[in-house]
Structure 1
Amino acid sequence: METLKPYYPIFKFVAVFFGIYILLSISYYLFLNWDWSSYNYPDPITSQIGHQTKRILNLIGHQAETINSPKHPSVIMFINEMRIYRVIEGCNAVSVMILFTSFIIAFAQSLKKTLLFILFGIVFIYIVNLIRLVLLALIYVSYKEHAHFAHEIIFPTIIYGAVIALWLYWIKHIKNA
């Protein structure tokens, strides 16, 4: 047992990370299985991000509309009456926020700094995801041949890259400050 003692911080990090990740994931799963009204369908977060995307698209001069789809739990995005894409639960970035939060808590020191950075990180991830959805809609309208590549490669790289950058910033600048 003495030979494992130097590795206790690693074991603690892994245990806390996975414990928090599992707890938050189960909580989110229960949240998703709640019976939401048709306005918030499929769930309030996915509905909100879909409708905010529509508002930004309208603000920048596109004729965007959304409708909730009870057949497929999603918000369908239209531009100029053309169906662009469906915003599904996986598009709301909550799973990325859960991953981010679990890591930050596993490296936590000060409660106040940790909570403030989690709040900042979640807002940052939400904004990056919102921009992602707006840009993806514009790509679907103007460059449809590149939409699959953008959706599957470019935007996941950007959102996960943003999370990794936040983690590195947390470790190097805030955690021990």
Structure 2
Amino acid sequence: MTNFVLNNAILSKLKPYYPVFKFVGIFAGIYVILSLLYYLYTSQDWTGVNYPDPVTSHVSHQTKELLQLLGYNATIENTAQLPSINLFIDGNIVFRVIEGCNAMSVSILFLAFVLAFAKAWKKTLLFCLFGVLAIYAVNLFRLVLLAVIFVDHPDYAHTAHDLIFPAIIYGMTVLLWIFWIRKPKNA
């Protein structure tokens, strides 16, 4: 009987935190499912279609196109030995675009959070679409600026790649989350 009373006392103390436990459980479940689906996607053999995978290929192509619009002589080339795409400017390799450069993992993290807070599905799905597109655009902007920094300001390449741009893309994701949980009532 003492254990029953003790367990009820513990449960009653935890009751105010049930929404937090529910959120963490839903978030973790969605994150695991989306990550597994993405793993299955990246495990496919894309060599005959868009190597290394269609999203990374598309991001690489758009990066090249934007650099060309900025006046750079940019080209891309698939890497046969590694699942990546080399980006060249003026015939010199600038960097390799790998699967981790396509911002899909950040998008999965974003989606898991927003879906764990879902109430009205239409608004949730629209915000998910907006958020993923915003993350994609910021990531594309990141790759273009990284190429410019690597070519024109190589002393800042390491800092830009490892510190500044991850802070920007994750910072924007956190700002989107904050907007989502504090969204205006009429939005």
Count of residue pairs brought into register by the alignment:
177
2:6 aligned partner:
none
CA gap of 1:65–1:134, structure 2 versus 1, over 3 A, is: same
Among residues 101, 111, 117, which one is paired with 1:101 in the alignment?
111
Among residues 125, 142, 160, which one is paired with 1:132 in the alignment?
142
1:24 matched to 2:34? The reply is: yes
- Output the CA distance in 1 between the equivalents of 2:93 and 2:48: 20
CA gap of 1:171–1:131, structure 2 versus 1, over 3 A, is: same
Any idea what the Cα deviations from partners look like across 1:94-124, whole Å, max 9, x if unmatched?
0000000000011111000100000000000
Among residues 133, 140, 159, which one is paired with 2:169 in the alignment?
159
CA gap of 1:91–1:141, structure 2 versus 1, over 3 A, is: same
- Output the CA distance in 1 between the equivalents of 2:49 and 2:76: 11
1:74 matched to 2:80? The reply is: no
TM-score, scaled to structure 1: 0.97
Based on CA coordinates, which of the two structures has the bigger radius of gyration?
2
- Stretches of structure 1 that go unaligned for 5 or more consecutive residues are none
Aligned partner letter, 1:18: A
After TM superposition, what 4+ stretches of structure 1 lie above 2 angstroms from structure 2?
A: 174-177
**Identity rate, percent:** 55
- Stretches of structure 2 that go unaligned for 5 or more consecutive residues are 1-10
TM-score, scaled to structure 2: 0.92
- Output the CA distance in 1 between the equivalents of 2:184 and 2:51: 38
CA gap of 1:175–1:111, structure 2 versus 1, over 3 A, is: farther
The answer as to whether partners of 1:113 and 1:174 remain within 8 angstroms in 2 is no
- Output the CA distance in 2 between the equivalents of 1:115 and 1:70: 38
1:56 matched to 2:34? The reply is: no
What's the offset of the Cα at 1:8? 0.9
What's the offset of the Cα at 1:38? 4.2
What's the offset of the Cα at 1:64? 0.3
Any idea what the Cα deviations from partners look like across 1:2-53, whole Å, max 9, x if unmatched?
2222111001000000000000000000000011134511110001100100
CA gap of 1:62–1:28, structure 2 versus 1, over 3 A, is: same
CA gap of 1:75–1:174, structure 2 versus 1, over 3 A, is: farther
Among residues 165, 168, 177, which one is paired with 2:178 in the alignment?
168
What's the offset of the Cα at 1:70? 1.9
CA gap of 1:20–1:108, structure 2 versus 1, over 3 A, is: same
The answer as to whether partners of 1:75 and 1:88 remain within 8 angstroms in 2 is yes
CA gap of 1:97–1:146, structure 2 versus 1, over 3 A, is: same
2:21 aligned partner:
11
